[in-house]
Amino acid sequence: MTIELHTWNTPNGRKISVALEEMGLPYKVIPVNIGKGEQMAPAFLAISPNNKIPAIVDPDGPGGKPVSIFESGAILLYLGEKTGKFLPKPLAERIPVYEWLMWQMGGFGPMPGQVHHFIALENEQDRAYGLKRYMAETRRLYGVLDRRLDGRDYVAGDLSVADFAILGWAWRHPRHKVDLADFPNVKRWYETLMARPATKRGMEAKLD
């Protein structure tokens, strides 16, 4: 049964298209044009009460009943549970997946997102303070990730939903004004993931 992916072409949207492709789940994209305020439509608010993309509707949810899920981290965990893929079963192996997924949700998303905001401002005075603050924090987070990936292929053991979550934001590194050559472990990890056929399909899926 086909999952509905309500989304737009953003890092958080890409997390889910990559995960769906990697998990081999059939899905259809229902674009939500956030530039036109479509995320405020009552029909979308019914499945995403925080009026943020992405959200999914799975017609074959728990017990075979339809279910909707909002918040990209929650969606990734749900899909991992549903398929048994990219989410280890032993609790000890899940812990780093949880840690690095929450690291992305709490830091490597909100901070680069502020860079996206301030870099778009036209007034240089308005831009200067915000860019200095949030670009510095974004580079710090890339450094955290680079150290984590030293000697590791993926952030939490085997490839997991945590990697998909982080990749969605690392995909925007040019917009963050970050040269991955400065973070060689991140660069290796990024290029390895982007070379995977399913990840490539998820990144190229039309979300808008």
Q: Are 25 and 15 in contact (CB under 8 A)?
A: no
Domain boundary among 85, 104, 119: 85
Residue 117: give the domain boundaries.
Answer: 91-199
Single pTM value for the model: 0.87
Q: What is the distance in angstroms between the CA of the first residue and the CA of the last residue of the chain? A: 22
Helix (H, G, I), strand (E, B) or coil at 133: helix
72 and 125 housed in the same domain: no
129 and 64 housed in the same domain: no
> How far is 159 from 153, CA to CA, in rounded Å?
8
- Write out the chain's pLDDT in tens, 208 residues: 999 999 999 999 999 999 999 999 999 999 999 999 999 999 999 999 999 999 999 999 999 999 999 999 999 999 999 999 999 999 999 999 999 999 999 999 999 999 888 888 888 887 888 888 899 999 999 999 999 999 999 999 999 999 999 999 999 999 999 999 999 999 999 999 999 999 999 999 999 9
> How far is 48 from 32, CA to CA, in rounded Å?
12
